[in-house]
Amino acid sequence: MRFAISVFGKYLFFLVLLAIFFLNLPIGAVTSQAAEQKKQTGQPPMRFIIVRSLLCMEDCPEWISAEGRITSDTPAQLRKVLKKIGDRKLPVVFQSEGGEVDAAYAMGRMIRKAGLETAVGGTRLKDCPADDTRCAAAIAKDGSSAGVTYSGGAYCFSACPLAFAGGTSRVSSQWAFIGVHQITTVYNRVRISYRIEYKMVNGKKQEISRKEVGRKAVGQSSSTKLGKKATAALTTYLKEMGVSGDLIALMMSTAPDRITIVPPADALRMGLNTDMLAYNEWPGMPLCVPGAAADAVCHSHSAVDAPAQAAAADTSEKLPASQPMDFLLMYHGNCQEECTQWISAEGDITPDTPARLKAILKTLGDRKLPVVLQSNGGDMDAAFAMGRMIRAAGLETSVGRTRLPNCPTLNPRCKASMAKSGPTGGEVSAGGAYCLSTCTLILISGTPRIVGYSDIGLVRPTPTEAKKFFAYVDEMGVNAGSFEAMMLATSIERKDIPRSQALELGIVNGIIPYGDEPGDRLCGPDAKESLRCPRRAAAEVVPAAAAAN
């Protein structure tokens, strides 16, 4: 006997069905709670715009501006854009408060497969008002536009960092924010109705067919606890993208209604960032290719021999190939009221350089002026001695080039412009500056030690130097184990160190903020009282000539 009836299961029965259903639910159902809240307030879904830079005349860089909430449809929209650009390698510049995790995974994998770079930044399109920086009127029918990017206040939160991780190069600046929190899994309870056909066999019912005839939502619940499948998916994805699993612990330690901002040093250490943008670099700027010209529009220029480069630019004067390091007490020559001061240390490190440093520190008394370095290196034992003096004095170190007024390009600290008494007026900048070889041993002694758009390099110690080399590094609080591994992994004699690795190893512990320059920290005694200079220094300024003796 065969029966055909409509069966509406009891509630407990459907709980079993739901358990089976949700165990097979894709991670695409996982969404950021913060993103859902923004969705309710009208945050639009992510939109992609191909933008050409306004800051050029020809061969203008382009990027893909990706702003808005990540939805289940976002990967399909990204796929269309990637198909449109063909083989062009345009960076993807993200600004998003998050969204669906599974969609972010898909986006990241598409970006990695296409070999594209990613950055955190906002985009302002040409002629758009301040409250609508991506106005529809500025976008052509083909989806392209012209504009500029910015870092200050830009953000990539929640699920956005997962899509961002797909970049072959992943950058943000000190003034942009990457934030994470717990993944929230949303469960939708559904009552399902079936039409079941069965027959009686020896007095028992035997099901022969089952067809769904309806379903009704009966509630919703959520959880921030990651199941085994979700954890495995997240772990696998991060490993695939070259990001440390430490990011998971940071995510899970933050409630879904809050955001933990990932510090730049941690983002670099975990591999979420591969580098930091300098103050004069912008999101969407492509990574420099090996051998890129010094004026190329790209970020992370490789280290260059700065004196050689200057000589190539100006052959009207000849300077000795090597000059011993000298020290100048400087103040900012363009200041009106807030006159900052620093110690400029430039030249090769020789056995008598520590004595010169000791002399200038003695004349300063208790004043703690930053030491701004530019050097190709030199005597290792002298560098050890100088580093220990700077650490004992509690001074800041940074890398920068100092230029005196009215000095020629090849002699930026000409004696004719040095003050006969008191500090010398001049300018300092990080751009193009360098601290190579044993100079970096002095740099790591600073408290703090910061770097901008400058080059840092190290010489691998010889076997006889290795013991005292790594003992000094450990003394300065740098990660000696990782440092040693880096040094031993290279066979070259001079090792150029990217800013990201310098931060990770502790060679530096900060990046010079936008608008600042090396040594732009402490005000001199002649500075008028202001917000930047709240109190006038009481110590007497020492003549530069005395410091040199």
Q: State yes or no: pLDDT of 192 exceeds 80.
A: yes
Q: What is the mean pLDDT of the chain?
A: 78
Domains and CATH numbers, the chain: 47-181+231-276 (3.90.226.10), 184-197+209-225 (no CATH), 326-511 (3.90.226.10)
What is the model's pLDDT at position 312? 33
Side chain identity, residue 94: F
Using an 8 Å Cβ cutoff, are 78 and 90 in contact?
no
Measured in whole angstroms, the distance separating CA 463 from the mean position of its chain's CA atoms is 35
- Residue 33 — very low, low, confident or very high, per pLDDT cuts 50/70/90? very low
| Gap between the Cα atoms of 353 and 533, Å rounded | 32
What is the model's pLDDT at position 398? 93
* Burial class of residue 83 in the structure, from the number of CB atoms within 10 Å of its CB (0-12 exposed, 13-18 middle, 19+ buried): exposed
| Gap between the Cα atoms of 427 and 93, Å rounded | 34
- Mean pLDDT across 176-185: 85
Which DSSP state fits 507? S
- Residue 224 — very low, low, confident or very high, per pLDDT cuts 50/70/90? low
| Gap between the Cα atoms of 168 and 242, Å rounded | 10
Phi, psi of 286 (to 5 degrees): -70, 160
Q: State yes or no: pLDDT of 538 exceeds 70.
A: no
- Residue 302 — very low, low, confident or very high, per pLDDT cuts 50/70/90? low
**Tokens 């906002």, residue?**
122
**Which 3 state secondary structure label does DSSP give 179?**
strand
- Residue 545 — very low, low, confident or very high, per pLDDT cuts 50/70/90? very low
Nearest one of 38, 42, 103 to 70, comparing CA atoms: 103
What is the model's pLDDT at position 245? 92
**Tokens 């020809």, residue?**
58
Question: What ranges make up the beta strands (E) of 376-465?
Answer: 397-399, 401-403, 424-429, 434-435, 449-451, 455-459
Tokens of 515: 């608008």
| Gap between the Cα atoms of 148 and 509, Å rounded | 30
What is the model's pLDDT at position 338? 55
Q: State yes or no: pLDDT of 298 exceeds 60.
A: yes
The residue ranking higher by pLDDT, 243 or 174, is 243
Q: Residue 30 forms beta bridges with which residues? A: 185
353 CB-near residues (< 8 Å, 6+ apart): 324, 325, 378, 379, 382, 386
Q: State yes or no: pLDDT of 135 exceeds 70.
A: yes
Nearest one of 180, 75, 186, 76 to 120, comparing CA atoms: 180
What is the model's pLDDT at position 12? 31
**Tokens 């440390």, residue?**
244
Using an 8 Å Cβ cutoff, are 125 and 97 in contact?
no
Nearest one of 307, 499, 482, 543 to 412, comparing CA atoms: 307
What is the model's pLDDT at position 310? 35
Considering 55-64, 89-98, 133-142, 531-540, the range whose residues carry the highest mean pLDDT is 89-98
Q: Apex CA 219: angle with CA 213 and CA 223, to 5°?
A: 120
| Gap between the Cα atoms of 412 and 400, Å rounded | 13
Considering 243-257, 290-304, 521-535, the range whose residues carry the highest mean pLDDT is 243-257
Using an 8 Å Cβ cutoff, are 503 and 468 in contact?
no
Using an 8 Å Cβ cutoff, are 206 and 198 in contact?
yes
Q: State yes or no: pLDDT of 462 exceeds 90.
A: no
- Mean pLDDT across 296-317: 48
- Mean pLDDT across 59-84: 95
The residue ranking higher by pLDDT, 175 or 508, is 508
Q: State yes or no: pLDDT of 167 exceeds 70.
A: yes
